Amino acid sequence: MSHFVFDPAPVVSVPVVGADEQFPVHRIYCVGRNYAEHAQEMGHTGREPPFFFMKPADAVVVCPPGQITALPYPSLTANLHHEIELVVAIGVRGKSIPVDQALWHVFGYAVGLDMTRRDLQNDMKKQGRPWCIGKGFDHSAPIGMITPASAIPNIEQADIDLQVNGKPRQHGQISQLIWNVAETIAQLSAAWELQPGDLIYTGTPAGVGPVVTGDVLQGNVTGLKPIAAQVV
Ligand code: MN
């Protein structure tokens, strides 16, 4: 067998709660406008079919509990936004998964941030261009430890919130998702075959807004490990 021309990039991984194990990341899928009030604040109404975008796996920034993880302010933007989200970690391969079987494919859940260069995303929207530069940049996917689904019997009952510098910025309930976890998996797996290691950022509740260098973000979902990050 021939050699690689250079060393392959290391496998991106996220630690798992309750085990000395790492969840190896395959792909990062994200759901757009999946809470009604956030859809409204972005200028949309109604229950439109879910839509998806992606971030590169190496956009992950692991935020271990009990630490404030450094989050570099990205280039090219003057309007970096926070979006606190429930992240679903896929453990079992599947395509065209029925809603009633979808949760069987879930390995676990984590708290995540879909960091967004809002000014660039809005420019791309206006021009009908892809969102990559607004969404898929380096360090754009902070995530906390993954809790196995068996320890979270009812994620739909959880609250989700974000504080910036100790002040509430975003708050919602997972039950407010327009497309719930099972429906999201069903729709997503119609378009891509889901693989073990896939992460799904399920969308953000209302209250998105800018952060600047020095700000400390603290995110929570009931029952999951919280995350804390400082923009540097
Ligand atoms: Mn988002």
Q: What distance in angstroms lies between residue 92's CA and the mean position of ligand 1's atoms? A: 24
pTM passes above 0.95: yes
* pLDDT above 70: percentage of residues in the chain: 100
Q: What distance in angstroms lies between residue 33's CA and the mean position of ligand 1's atoms? A: 7
Q: For position 42, what pLDDT does the model report?
A: 81
Separation of alpha carbons 124 and 138, rounded Å: 18
For 124, list phi and psi in degrees, rounded to 5: -65, -40
Q: For position 187, what pLDDT does the model report?
A: 97
65: tokens are: 């509990």
Q: What distance in angstroms lies between residue 82's CA and the mean position of ligand 1's atoms? A: 9
For 88, list phi and psi in degrees, rounded to 5: -100, 130
Q: What distance in angstroms lies between residue 34's CA and the mean position of ligand 1's atoms? A: 8
Q: What distance in angstroms lies between residue 32's CA and the mean position of ligand 1's atoms? A: 6
Q: Would you say 110 and 222 are in contact if contact means Cβ atoms under 8 Å apart?
A: no
Task: Determine the average pLDDT of the residues in 205-227.
Answer: 97
User: What confidence tens digit (pLDDT) does each residue in 93-104 have?
Assistant: 999 999 999 999
Q: What's the burial of 2, exposed, middle or buried (CB within 10 Å: 0-12/13-18/19+)?
A: exposed
List CB-based neighbours of ion ligand 1 within 5 Å: 83, 114, 204
Separation of alpha carbons 88 and 71, rounded Å: 22
Q: What distance in angstroms lies between residue 29's CA and the mean position of ligand 1's atoms? A: 10
* pLDDT above 90: percentage of residues in the chain: 92
Neighbours of 167 (CB within 10 A): 7
